[in-house]
């Protein structure tokens, strides 16, 4: 299975790809405000790449439940300078975490190869046209509703089946708009319109999504469902985040999106040795 993202090609099976998170948002919940100045965001990204991240995901709009959207101008100002500088200083693949086609396009022009789209459930096709035209990688994440509405009593009859159906329908829809399956990675969107029980079900049955034969990305790092299960505060969620990453290896996931790159690389390399996946 091959994932094509502009100049980057990932051939699976292969060791888990660790994607490091760089937020340029003042209100991002897990590292809020630390990297507002674009120089420190760049330094942080370079450190994550050194620690073994093969993709750096750069975002300028918080998607935490109930957070306020930011304007296009503001998001462009936050994200584009960071991507431009990183593209000059590193060979690592750059991903832009945005819901806005204009921001995705500007990020690609600045050197990004992947569009990480938490709003892949939208109906309008502009984002897909940007991805198709650029030959960019596309992370198609499942979300119920929008970040503003998603945690209002999410209900599913069978969350695993419904997310799987979403993936199949979206791949067909993306293909209609010129985005080939080879460009797409799938993501169940842990925490996006899901209760604790839904999140646990999705994680415990991750291997059900392997039938779709696209790379599977999992984002659990420091998320609030961990706190809901264990009562741990944000700073104390690393052990459970690593457990989920290790679990994801055994379940056949291909990419993990994390804050703690060095620790995650160690954990997943050990899990892979034990799992005889490599
Ligand atoms: C995810 C994500 C976030 C995720 C993908 C956080 C932007 C919340 N979570 N993108 N973004 N998958 N693809 O905790 O799970 O980082 S934001």
Instruction: Kindly list the structural domains of the chain, giving each domain's residue range(s) and its CATH number in brackets, ordered by start.
Output: 2-277 (3.20.20.20)
Which residue reads 């073994």 in tokens?
52
Residue 35 has pLDDT above 70, yes or no: no
The backbone region for 98, taken as left when phi is positive above 0, alpha when psi lies in -120 to 50, beta otherwise, is: beta
Ligand 1 contacts CB of residue 62 (under 6 A) = no
63 lines ligand 1 (CB under 6 A): yes
What is the per-residue pLDDT for 5? 98
Contact (Cβ atoms closer than 8 angstroms) between residue 278 and residue 256 = no
Tokens of 66: 């109930």
The answer, yes or no, to whether any atom of ligand 1 lies below 6 A from the CB of 59, is yes
Q: Ligand 1 centre and the CA of 270: distance in Å?
A: 24
pLDDT confidence band for 125 (50 / 70 / 90): very high
> From the CA of 128, how far away is ligand 1's center (Å)?
19
257 is catalytic: yes
Q: What is the mean pLDDT of residues 152-160?
A: 93
pLDDT at 241 over 70: yes
Among 30-34, 83-87, 108-112, the minimum mean pLDDT is found in 30-34
Residue with the larger pLDDT of the pair 69 and 51: 51
**Mean pLDDT computed over 7-11:** 97
Averaged pLDDT, 239-243: 98
Q: What is the pLDDT of residue 63?
A: 84
Which residue lies with its CA nearest to atom 15 of ligand 1?
Answer: 219
Out of 104, 118, 166, 217, give the residue to mutate to test ligand 1, the one with the largest number of ligand atoms within 8 Å of its CB. Answer: 118
Residue 163 has pLDDT above 70, yes or no: yes
pLDDT(277) > 90: no
Name the residue with higher pLDDT: 26 or 28: 26
> What is the rounded distance in angstroms from the CA atom of residue 7 to the CA atom of residue 156?
38
- Listed range (146-160, 199-213, 214-228) with the worst mean pLDDT: 146-160
Give CA–CA dist 117/174, Å, rounded: 13
How far away, in angstroms, is 187 Cα from ligand 1 center?
A: 9
pLDDT at 68: 82
pLDDT mean over 207-236: 96
Please compute the mean of the pLDDT values over residues 105-127 and round it to a whole number: 97
Nearest residue (by CA) to ligand 1, atom 1, is 219
CA of 189 to the centre of ligand 1 (A): 7
Residue 188 Cβ < 6 Å to ligand 1: no
pLDDT tens-digit profile of 79-90?
999 999 999 999
Average pLDDT value for the chain: 94
Average the pLDDT over 58-65 and give the result: 89
- In short, whether 187's Cβ falls inside 6 Å of ligand 1 is yes
Our answer to whether residue 277 is catalytic in this structure is: no
The residue whose CA has the least distance to atom 12 of ligand 1 is 219
Cα 241 to middle of ligand 1, angstroms: 13
Span 52-60, mean pLDDT?
A: 98
Question: Token digits for 67?
Answer: 């957070």
Which pLDDT band holds residue 211 (cuts at 50, 70, 90)?
A: confident
Whole-Å CA distances, 222 to 66, 106, 149, 183, 195: 18, 29, 21, 28, 16
pLDDT of residue 69: 86
Question: What pLDDT is recorded for position 145?
Answer: 87
């Amino acid at each position: 299975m091959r994932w094509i993202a502009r100049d980057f090609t990932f051939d699976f099976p292969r060791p888990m790809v660790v994607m490091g998170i760089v937020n340029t948002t003042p209100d991002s919940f897990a590292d809020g405000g630390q990297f507002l100045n674009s120089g420190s965001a760049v330094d942080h990204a370079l450190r994550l790449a050194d620690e073994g991240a093969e993709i750096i995901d750069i975002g300028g709009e918080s998607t935490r439940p109930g957070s306020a959207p930011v304007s296009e101008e503001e998001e462009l100002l936050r994200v584009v300078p960071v991507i431009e500088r990183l593209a000059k200083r590193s060979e690592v693949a750059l991903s832009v975490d945005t819901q806005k086609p204009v921001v995705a396009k500007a990020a690609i022009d600045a050197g990004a190869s992947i569009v990480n789209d938490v709003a892949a459930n939208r109906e309008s096709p502009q984002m897909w046209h940007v991805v198709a035209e650029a030959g960019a990688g596309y992370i198609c994440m499942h979300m119920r509703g929008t970040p503003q509405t998603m945690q209002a009593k999410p209900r599913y009859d069978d969350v695993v089946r419904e997310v799987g159906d979403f993936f199949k329908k979206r791949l067909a829809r993306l293909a209609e708009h010129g985005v080939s399956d080879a460009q797409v990675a799938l993501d169940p969107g842990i925490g996006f319109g899901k209760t604790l029980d839904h999140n646990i079900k999705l994680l415990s049955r991750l291997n059900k999504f392997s039938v779709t034969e696209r790379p599977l990305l999992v984002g659990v790092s420091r998320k609030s469902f961990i706190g809901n299960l264990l009562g741990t505060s944000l700073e104390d969620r690393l052990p459970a985040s690593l457990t989920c990453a290790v679990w994801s290896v055994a379940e056949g996931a291909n990419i993990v999106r994390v804050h703690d790159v060095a620790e995650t690389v160690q954990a997943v390399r050990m899990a892979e040795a034990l799992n005889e996946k490599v």
